[in-house]
Amino acid sequence: MRALLQRVAHASVTVESEVIGRTGPGLLILVCAMQGDGEAQADQLAAKIAKLRIFPDEAGKMNLSVKDMGGGALVVSQFTLAADTSRGNRPGFSTAAAPEEGKRLYEYFAARLAGEGVPVETGRFGAEMKVELLNDGPVTIWMET
């Protein structure tokens, strides 16, 4: 699985003019299941993200996890993280998981992250979404299992 984490002051996702998910201070997590991924990769990614120390402590040092600082996560599916740009000018997405499996793993990942003690809200798989965020830092981290 691939994920792009952004430390945010706040983030929201809107579908058809309705806000369907939001978080205050915490993480915006864009996530993509790749071909061959399964629950083990989602488990690994959720556990790592829940413990990743990228929030400032009282001394301003990145020493706290999203759980430590009491933050939440907005998890948004984004198959374009599978983009292959090695040939031509149009990215290919053939390495992304098939839509049914991608949706299953996206939902499983969000549930596992919540199971790690992080409050989670989500976007809507396959929907045309508008994502707004206020990046904090900025801190943006790429992760891959």
Mean pLDDT (the chain, rounded): 97
Q: Which residues in the chain land under pLDDT 50?
A: none
Extents of the domains making up the chain: 2-144
35 is catalytic: no
95-135 per-position pLDDT tens digit: 999 999 999 999 999 999 999 999 999 999 999 999 999 99
Note the pLDDT of residue 68: 97
78 is catalytic: yes
Alpha-carbon distances, residue 140 vs 4, 27, 28, 66, 70 (angstroms): 7, 10, 10, 14, 19
Note the pLDDT of residue 112: 98
Which one is catalytic: 6, 55, 79, 109? 79
**Nearest Cα residue to 1 out of 88, 86, 110, 136:** 110
Architecture of domain 2-144: 3-Layer(bba) Sandwich (3.50)
Note the pLDDT of residue 60: 94
DSSP state letter for 97 = P
Which one is catalytic: 6, 23, 41, 78? 78
SS3 39: helix
Note the pLDDT of residue 89: 95
Which one is catalytic: 35, 80, 93, 140? 80
